[in-house]
A = this chain, B = another copy of it.
Amino acid sequence: MARSSARTEQRILDAAYGLFWRQGFVRVSMDQIAERAKVTKRTLYQRFRSKDDLIAAALAHSSELAMQRLEQFKLPANRDAMIDSIFGQIADWAATPRWSGAGFTRVAVELADLRGHPARAIARRHKAAVEAWFCARLATAKVSSPRERAREIVLLMEGAMMLMLIHGDHGYAEAAAHAAKRLVRKN
C-alpha cells in the first residue's frame, strides 16, 4: 500500500510538472493534471490541498532530480571544453520540439507579482544551487575567482535561454559560450 501510494504521488508530480512546463503554471487546471496522472480529483486533492501546493511540490521534486543529474554530470577538465559542453547542451535542449524555456525561470516570471508564493522560494534555491555547483566546478578546474566567474556564467546562461526562447536562434548560446570562455580566460 505505501509503495503504491508513493507511486501515485510520483505520477501526480510528473504529470503536473510536465503540464506546467509546457503550458505555464497559470493555464493548467487541476482537472487536466488529474486526467494526465490518471487519478480522480478526490485523490489529487487528498494529496495536495491546492494547485499552489502542487506547483511547489512539483518544482521541489524537479529541483532534486536536476541537482542529482548535475552532481553526476561528467564535465571535461579543460576550461574551454567545459564551457562549450555546458552551452552546447543548453542549445541542444532548446532545439527539442516544443521547448518552453527553463521551468524555474518560468515560474518566477509567471508568479512575478507573488513574491511570497512557495514556488518562488524553490526557484530561488534551485538557481542558487546551480550557481554554487558551477563555482565548485570552476574551483576544481583551478579557475581563479570562481564565484565571480560562476555568476557570469549563470548570467550568460539565463540570457541565452531567454533569447533562444524569444528568437528561436541558437546563435545566442554560441555567443554566450564565446563570452564565457573569454571571461574565464582573461580575469
A residues sitting closer than 8 Å to B (CB atoms) are: 22-24, 26-27, 98, 100-101, 104-106, 108-110, 112-113, 115, 120, 123-124, 127-128, 148, 151-152, 154-160, 162-163, 165-168, 171-172, 175-176, 178-179, 182-183, 186-187
Known: A151-B172, A175-B151. A110 touches B159 (CB 8 A): no
For A171, what are the chain B residues with a Cβ–Cβ distance below 8 Å? 151
CA distance A158 to B179 in the complex (A): 15
CA distance A24 to B120 in the complex (A): 15
When C-beta atoms are compared, the residue in chain B nearest to A98 turns out to be B113
CA distance A178 to B182 in the complex (A): 13
Tell me how far the C-beta of A4 lies from the nearest C-beta in chain B, rounded to whole angstroms: 33
Chain multiplicity (copies): 2
Interface of A is mostly: helix
Tell me how far the C-beta of A138 lies from the nearest C-beta in chain B, rounded to whole angstroms: 14
Known: A24-B26, A183-B179. A163 touches B167 (CB 8 A): no
For A183, what are the chain B residues with a Cβ–Cβ distance below 8 Å? 179, 182-183
Tell me how far the C-beta of A106 lies from the nearest C-beta in chain B, rounded to whole angstroms: 6
CA distance A187 to B101 in the complex (A): 30
18 contacts between A and B (CB under 8 A): A23-B113, A24-B112, A101-B108, A101-B109, A106-B112, A108-B165, A109-B109, A110-B110, A123-B166, A127-B167, A128-B167, A148-B175, A151-B171, A155-B179, A157-B159, A158-B158, A158-B159, A162-B162
